[in-house]
Amino acid sequence: MLEINDLKKTFDNGSPALKGVNLKINKGEFVSILGPSGSGKTTLLRSINGLESISGGEIYFNKKKVDDNSIKDVQKKTGMIFQEFNLVNNLSAINNVLTGLLNSSNKFLSLFYLFEKNQKLKALESLETVGLLEKSYNRADELSGGQRQRVGIARAIIKKPLLLLADEPVASLDPKAANIILLLLKKINKEFGTTIICNLHQFDLAKKYSDRLIGLLDGKIIFDEKSNSINKLDLEQIYN
Ligand SMILES: Nc1ncnc2c1ncn2[C@@H]1O[C@H](COP(=O)(O)OP(=O)(O)OP(=O)(O)O)[C@@H](O)[C@H]1O
Ligand SMILES: [Mg+2]
pLDDT at position 107, please?
Answer: 56
Q: Given 158, 173, 196, which residue is the final one in a domain? A: 158
For the segment 114-123, the average pLDDT, to the nearest whole number, is 88
**Atom 14 of ligand 1 has which residue's CA nearest to it?**
40
Instruction: Give Rg (Cα) of the chain.
Output: 18
140 and 178 fall within a common domain:
no
Residue type, 79: G
Q: Given 99, 124, 158, which residue is the final one in a domain? A: 158
- Ligand at minimal distance from the CA of 44 is 1
12 and 124 fall within a common domain:
no
- 103 located within any domain: yes
> Any residues with Cβ below 6 Å from ligand 1, and which?
11, 13, 15, 17, 35, 37-43
**pLDDT per residue as tens digits for the range 140-171:** 999 999 999 999 999 999 999 999 999 999 99
- 82 located within any domain: no
142 and 177 fall within a common domain:
no
Cα–Cα distance measured from residue 7 to residue 131, given in angstroms and rounded to the nearest whole number: 37
Kindly give, in sequence order, each residue whose CB lies less than 8 Å from that of residue 184, ignoring residues fewer than 6 positions away: 130, 131, 150, 153
Q: How does residue 139 score in pLDDT terms, banded at 50, 70 and 90?
A: very high
Do strands 212-217 and 220-226 pair parallel, antiparallel, or not at all (unpaired)? antiparallel
For the segment 52-66, the average pLDDT, to the nearest whole number, is 95
Range of the domain at 120: 87-158
Q: How does residue 199 score in pLDDT terms, banded at 50, 70 and 90?
A: very high
Average pLDDT, the chain: 92
Residue 131 has pLDDT above 90, yes or no: yes
Residue 119 has pLDDT above 70, yes or no: yes
CA of 199 to the centre of ligand 2 (A): 8
pLDDT at position 15, please?
Answer: 86
Q: Given 126, 143, 158, which residue is the final one in a domain? A: 158
pLDDT at position 112, please?
Answer: 60
For the segment 221-234, the average pLDDT, to the nearest whole number, is 90
Phi-psi region of 160 (alpha: psi -120 to 50; beta: other; left: phi over 0): left
Kindly give, in sequence order, each residue whose CB lies less than 8 Å from that of residue 186, ignoring residues fewer than 6 positions away: 30, 209
62 and 176 fall within a common domain:
yes
Q: How does residue 85 score in pLDDT terms, banded at 50, 70 and 90?
A: confident
129 and 168 fall within a common domain:
no
167 and 228 fall within a common domain:
yes
pLDDT at position 38, please?
Answer: 94
- Ligand at minimal distance from the CA of 214 is 1
CA 97 to mean position of chain CA atoms: 15
